[in-house]
Amino acid sequence: MLRDEGYDAAVEREDESRLAVGNGFLGVRASLEMPTLASRPRTFVAGLFDVVNGAPGGPFLAPAPDWLRLALTVNGHEVALGDGAEHSRTLDLQSGLLRSMWEYRAPSGLLRLSSLRLASLSHRSTALQVVRVVPEGRVRFELAALLVPSTLTLLLEGVDGPLSYWRTAGSRRGLTIAMKTELFPDNAALVADEDGSRLARRWSWDAAPGEPAVFVRTMAFARESQGKDRTQCARATTMAVARGRDEILASHTAAWSGRWRASDVEIEGDDEAQRAVRYAVYQLVSAANPEDEHCSVGARGLTGDAYGGHVFWDTEIFLLPFYTFTCPEAARAMLMYRYHTLPAAREKAARLGYAGALYAWESADTGEEATPEFAQLPNGETVPILSGTIEQHISADIAYATWQYWEATGDESFLADAGAEILLETARFWASRAVLEADGQYHVRGVIGPDEYHEDVDDNAYTNVMAQWNLETGVVVARLMRSRWPERWAELTEKLGLTAVDPDLWSDVARRMYSGLDAQSGLYEQFSGFFELEPVDLSLYEPRSAPMDVLLGRDRTQRSQVIKQADVVMLMALLWDRFAPAVREANYRYYERRCGHGSSLSPAAHSLVAARLGDVALAEQYFRETAAIDLGDAMGNASGGVHIGALGGLWQAVVLGLAGLSVSGEGLSFDPHLPDSWASLSFAVRYHDGTVRVSAQNEAAVFSARLEQGSRPVAITVGGVTRVLQEGEAHQWRIRGRAMQTESAT
């Protein structure tokens, strides 16, 4: 449970983000049923993007109408928060329900209201609102249930009984909404008054002291897309609202129960850490829709307006591991979104003079570049945004996620039908992007790496080494396709215009790619010239609440070694086995003290790598910093929505970092390092067609794994010791520092 006591207009929008409910198709902020001036009611429908001509920022998610709006009068007095009301909201993470409680001291006496809302996880088009009102004295109630446009970007086209038809102003995307309302004073249904209002339902009734009335509103939303026209939307939404309240509640909570069985991370001994990781899991489950492969998860999920619902590299690098290991169907759908947007990625690469596929830095529904061209700094200065053209590592990031999904799931149809094409086309891009120079090495000049404080740099280590990996993996995929699926390989070579010499070129570019590694120190230079920049002692600016680029100014920041977020450190996190232990250690220590963490993605990456290095105290520190980003609004911008990438990173810090999970060869590997305050850590992961449940006991120094289900045996490696599990079999590894002993049981 996440409980918010009282009402504070100053933080209302942050609370609305934090307590949102969603299911990957619908996202509903925790706005009040009777909003104040501080409220920002929003219901987002995934994929419903609009474009306003002349407006900056490109396409953005168009908010659906506010369907939660109520107007209540008691003996002619309108109920509002200003009436000495006591108010609380409780987000039930386990069941995906938001409950609210009010006590209004109206002139007629005390009035108690309670409400419940959900966005159904079992029927994703459906949302439910239930409100119960109980008066202390004898009163006359008047209630209006309204459907109110949230912005001017969604226009009403018509109303037909319970159905309303809407269309975005610029992109002309259609949305059909069905609304069913019921009122039960004293358990008897009351028919709404007919007043001619097309988007409102109104009731009036007399209530005795203590006599409850229950209002129920069932909503269904359908987006016109993928061949679904208005008639089909109307039929689907009408059927959806016909479900009763009890059936909607039961199926929704059952679906959440199933997701928690697959996704829960249990921490004993540290309630704060437990709440943080469960909150992360809740938001991650709420953000993804495995039923729609034409949408993906934006940087704030469906919880706020920030970034307009755009999809960044966050999705593949910070979110995909959670879905791959707990709900691979969702991971597959998100990668299929990247497959469906390959044409736009090819067009972008060609427009910039390259081959293959260069994905948009910010992507909406079509995959076309959606990054704004300009931004305004806090001091009012307007600066160009270069990410849309030269922050190109995203193509390697998507390739990386594609291959990681394949390794963890063995999903052959995905690789053959979609994944291979992504991997091949991104490899082709890097082969055309890198330039062979006089030193006999390939260079990638004029880019932005993850550290966005430094723009238009040459040979960014993260970009170059990830591109190198992408090229090498492209060669592996070409060989795999040729040997395993020769007919599909023939189709691909014809479609893409690949020749027999292309993989040879990729191998050569990868082999001679400049990496920036200084062999003597073991350090990777973040980009050419970084070591010559001004060192800045970040400790001199602590404690601070402003980002370092604000404190130093844009120009000095670019001339300094201050880093916005994990860059070389992120590279170590993704390609861990590629680097020697001494290289990992040297680079982490060097760059960690230069990082200002100006991005919400940064602390989690530092936590993960610190855990793998065995620096548990530092890993725990960064874990708690990550948890505070949304739960404590540590960055001061949660009003725009939760930071879903940071929440995915929090899960990774625990599962991939502190538990040390990685995919190795034909199985899973673990290298646990738990904080002293954690008595135990346990969770389940999906691997191929099986489910493995693991647990690490701190004081007993025991790590256990059980193959709960799976048709094939799975090799589990802990501390370098491997055991093969059959279905129903468990093994235990006794941990003594770095030395391991093994025991087994069935």
C-alpha 265/C-alpha 680 separation (Å) is: 10
C-alpha 148/C-alpha 722 separation (Å) is: 60
* DSSP code per residue over 266-302: EEES-HHHHHHHHHHHHHHHHH--TT-TT----TTTT
Report the half-sphere exposure of 604 (CA within 13 A, side-chain side).
Answer: 30
Long-range Cβ contact pairs of 479-486 (< 8 A, separation 24 or more): 479/503, 480/415, 480/420, 481/416, 481/420, 484/416, 485/416
Contacts of 641 (CB under 8 A, 6+ apart): 17, 20, 299, 300, 301, 303, 304, 305, 306, 307
- Candidate list 14, 425, 452, 525, residue with the active-site label: 452
C-alpha 414/C-alpha 226 separation (Å) is: 20
Contacts of 219 (CB under 8 A, 6+ apart): 67, 126, 127, 128, 129, 177, 178, 179, 180, 241
CA angle 26, 28, 34 (to 5 degrees): 145
Q: Which amino acid is at 645?
A: G
> From the CA atom positions of the chain, what is the Rg in Å?
27
Token pair, residue 213, equals: 């009335």
Q: Is 407 a catalytic residue?
A: no
C-alpha 171/C-alpha 46 separation (Å) is: 15
Residue 183: what are its φ and ψ, rounded to 5°?
A: -130, 130
CA 78 to chain CA centroid, Å, is: 39
Contact predicate 650/656, CB 8 Å: no
* DSSP code per residue over 100-116: EEEEEEETTEEEEEEEE
Q: Fill in the DSSP letter of residue 122.
A: S
SS3 202: strand
Residue 674 gets the label, from left (phi > 0), alpha (psi -120 to 50) or beta, of: beta
Give the residue among 338, 303, 346 at the shortest CA–CA distance from 320: 338
Catalytic center residues: 452
